[in-house]
């Protein structure tokens, strides 16, 4: 079995259902590179090419462009040999690299009963240009269409991160006791009730109960808890937690497919499959535009027979074909992806990666922003927040005593305390004694020093002030010579731009900001209050977060975005209308599940992303109005015989160039 390439889930009878990871990732593939039929089936628009590749991707367009320019130059200078069959063959060869894939798509669509597609219109119009002898125009029109498609594909390729294996986040092995020693096996082969060993830094492979006296586990990825969880013998442990302190032993209580990690992965799959696919605007426009211009072209050719006395079929066929060439939606086709390309490029420069233009469309509609706490608005690292001294010692002396004791500990909170710097050399402690689940005791400069929690103070009959009962952060109490000396609080540090982000949401149309966290509710509420968030809930499991978001989505007027970074956030990222992941420190599963990645881990970039999305949409509509406006004017002229083929092509090219310049503005704007 290849653990790297498959996700496993099980039916009610326990039979494994195996589906490739690539199939699941395809569900997250931006619809901007897919064409969706009315029946909901997806078809890769250009499955013969990897648009994320090198110059080979553009080879067909380059060949057509060189041959077209060469042919036009030969025509312009009236080169004698460039006549007759040679001239026709030259332009046919120039047309084939960009035209053949489109004609193939048109035939495939026709075989499915879809007549009025952009492929059909492009094929008929350009073949019509060849039929009336306007070979350069036919090649130019199809070349512009191909370039527009390449721009769109390039935008998507730049916006997507490389896809990594989803299962990288789950434990790969379990050390199981076989009666004599511990042996490494696949976690899926471990039965309930078996004894497993987990070393320091390893992930716990299955849910179980702790057999060791105590343990310190990092559960941030599973529960969102910002500080390590302190467990005693008999306590429950969750798969995916990281052992922080010492080698521990666990007795399994669930099979792997029932474990916390497997459950989260299953939730990701289910939520992803429920995310609705959104067609690009160009697809919707083409469904209306294409049949209209096709029927109008037919009418231009046939109807004059009944009203014009000197009707000549060839003349009106010529006008109809010119009308079709004019009606080729080249400028329209290229202006939309170029607008998205400009927006995606501007976002990338600001450290924001959209996994397709569709998610840019969706982001501008968001009016409810839901966010995780740990790693999203906080840095996810411990830091001393406050130092309170009760026995009259100087801060330097107090911290020297505390550092002397904590220097012998490997606990994550001790590591945070050791980051504190003092003048001079830290005093050496002696006779260090660890008191399981409570703290440490030792001798510093002849004084008896104890450092730990309230239980430790009580054990040594040291009275503590009532104020510490109201402190929600992690607290380390210090007693010196049987008297309370003071305490330090350890807290997750707020990100520099967190408060600014919350205050800026309203300016970009976010009417409701909600915080959902797996961390303790008291800590969650405190952080929410500091940030100005009025709606916050803590102590939530992944399925609780998912339920909250699904309830929010039930409102017809709600478009919900979720910002998160941990494995526990993945189901919500998948289920929300727009999933936004912190990319620098976020888990792989969160990054791969999300629609938008914030590379810098700055929440304020979400506001920037919304601004870019809204500006992109404005520019795209400007390009659409420009393209359609000019197109309609020239179409009318073509119907009355007032426009030539080249005028139509140049009008289209001119509009396309204006659309390009308009889209480039996005890259130049300051956000």
d(CA 93, CA 112): 29
- List the Cα angle 381/382/386 in 5-degree steps: 145
d(CA 326, CA 306): 25
**Strand positions, DSSP E, 474-569:** 474-480, 483-494, 512-516, 535-537, 560-564
d(CA 39, CA 41): 6
Task: Identify the active-site residue in 372, 519, 569, 652.
Answer: 372
- DSSP assignment of 244-267 equals -SS-EEEEE-S-GGGSHHHHHHHH
CA atoms within 13 A on the CB side of 567: 25
Other CB atoms within 10 Å distance of the CB of residue 17: 9
Cβ pair 161, 584 in contact under 8 A: no
Give phi and psi for 192, each to the nearest 5: -70, 140
- DSSP assignment of 264-319 equals HHHHHHHHHHHSPP---HHHHHHHHHHHHHHHHHHHHHHTHHHH-TT--HHHHHHH
The Cα diameter of the chain in Å comes to 120
Region of 433 please: left (phi>0), alpha (psi -120 to 50) or beta. Answer: beta
d(CA 221, CA 242): 9
Give the SS3 label for residue 184.
Answer: strand
Q: Is 372 among the residues known to form the active site? A: yes
Give the SS3 label for residue 582.
Answer: strand
Catalytic positions: 372
């Amino acid at each position: 079995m290849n653990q790297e390439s498959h996700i496993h889930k099980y039916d009610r009878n326990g039979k494994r259902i195996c589906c490739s990871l690539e199939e699941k990732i395809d569900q997250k593939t931006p619809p901007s590179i897919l064409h969706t039929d009315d029946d909901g089936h997806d078809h890769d628009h250009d499955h013969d090419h990897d648009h994320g590749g090198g110059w080979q991707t553009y080879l067909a367009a380059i060949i057509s462009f060189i041959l077209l320019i060469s042919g036009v130059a030969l025509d312009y200078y009236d080169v004698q040999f460039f006549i007759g069959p040679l001239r026709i063959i030259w332009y046919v060869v120039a047309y084939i690299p960009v035209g053949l894939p489109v004609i193939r798509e048109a035939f495939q669509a026709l075989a499915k009963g879809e007549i009025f597609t952009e492929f059909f219109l492009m094929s008929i119009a350009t073949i019509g240009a060849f039929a009336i002898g306007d070979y350069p125009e036919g090649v130019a029109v199809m070349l512009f269409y191909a370039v527009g498609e390449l721009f769109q594909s390039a935008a998507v390729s730049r916006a997507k991160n490389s896809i990594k294996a989803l299962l990288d986040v789950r434990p790969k092995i379990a050390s199981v006791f076989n009666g004599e020693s511990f042996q490494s096996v696949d976690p899926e082969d471990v039965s309930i009730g078996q004894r497993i060993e987990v070393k320091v830094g390893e992930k716990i492979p299955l849910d179980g109960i702790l057999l060791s006296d105590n343990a310190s586990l990092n559960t941030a990825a599973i529960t969102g808890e910002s500080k390590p969880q302190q467990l005693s013998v008999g306590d429950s442990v969750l798969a995916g937690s990281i052992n922080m302190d010492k080698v521990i032993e666990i007795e399994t209580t669930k099979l792997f497919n029932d474990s916390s990690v497997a459950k989260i992965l299953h939730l990701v799959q289910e939520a992803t499959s429920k995310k609705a696919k959104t067609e690009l605007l160009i697809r919707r426009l083409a469904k209306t535009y294409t049949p209209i211009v096709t029927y109008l072209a037919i009418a231009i050719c046939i109807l004059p027979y009944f009203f014009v006395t000197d009707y000549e079929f060839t003349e009106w066929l010529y006008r109809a074909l010119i009308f079709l060439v004019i009606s080729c939606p080249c400028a329209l086709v290229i202006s939309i992806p170029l607008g998205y390309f400009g927006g995606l490029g501007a976002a990338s420069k600001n450290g924001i990666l959209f996994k397709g233009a569709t998610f840019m469309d969706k982001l501008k509609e968001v009016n409810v922003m839901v966010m995780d706490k740990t790693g999203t608005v906080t840095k996810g690292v411990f830091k001393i927040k406050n130092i309170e001294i009760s026995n009259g010692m100087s801060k330097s002396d107090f911290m020297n005593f505390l550092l002397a004791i904590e220097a012998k500990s490997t606990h994550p909170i001790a590591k945070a305390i050791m980051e504190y710097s003092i003048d001079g050399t830290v005093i050496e402690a002696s006779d260090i004694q660890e008191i399981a689940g409570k703290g440490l005791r030792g001798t510093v400069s002849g004084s008896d020093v104890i450092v730990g929690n309230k239980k430790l103070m009580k054990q040594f009959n040291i009275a503590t002030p009532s104020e510490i009962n109201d402190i929600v952060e992690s607290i380390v109490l210090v007693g010196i010579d049987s008297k309370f000396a003071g305490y330090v609080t350890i807290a997750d540090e707020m990100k520099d731009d967190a408060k600014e982000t919350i205050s800026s949401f309203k300016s970009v149309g976010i009417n409701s900001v909600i915080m959902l966290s797996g961390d303790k509710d008291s800590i969650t509420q405190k952080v929410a209050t500091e940030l100005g968030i009025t709606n916050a809930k803590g102590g939530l499991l992944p399925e609780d977060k998912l339920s909250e978001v699904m309830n929010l989505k039930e409102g017809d007027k709600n478009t919900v975005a979720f910002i998160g970074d941990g494995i526990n956030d993945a189901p919500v990222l998948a289920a929300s209308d727009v999933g936004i992941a912190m990319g620098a420190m976020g888990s792989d599963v969160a990054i791969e599940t999300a629609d938008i990645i914030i590379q810098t881990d700055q929440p304020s970039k979400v506001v920037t992303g919304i601004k870019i999305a809204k500006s992109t949409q404005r520019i795209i509509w400007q390009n659409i109005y420009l393209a359609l406006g000019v197109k309609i004017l020239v179409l009318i002229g073509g119907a009355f015989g007032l426009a030539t083929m080249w005028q139509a092509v140049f009008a289209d090219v001119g509009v396309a160039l204006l659309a390009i310049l308009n889209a480039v503005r996005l890259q130049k704007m300051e956000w």
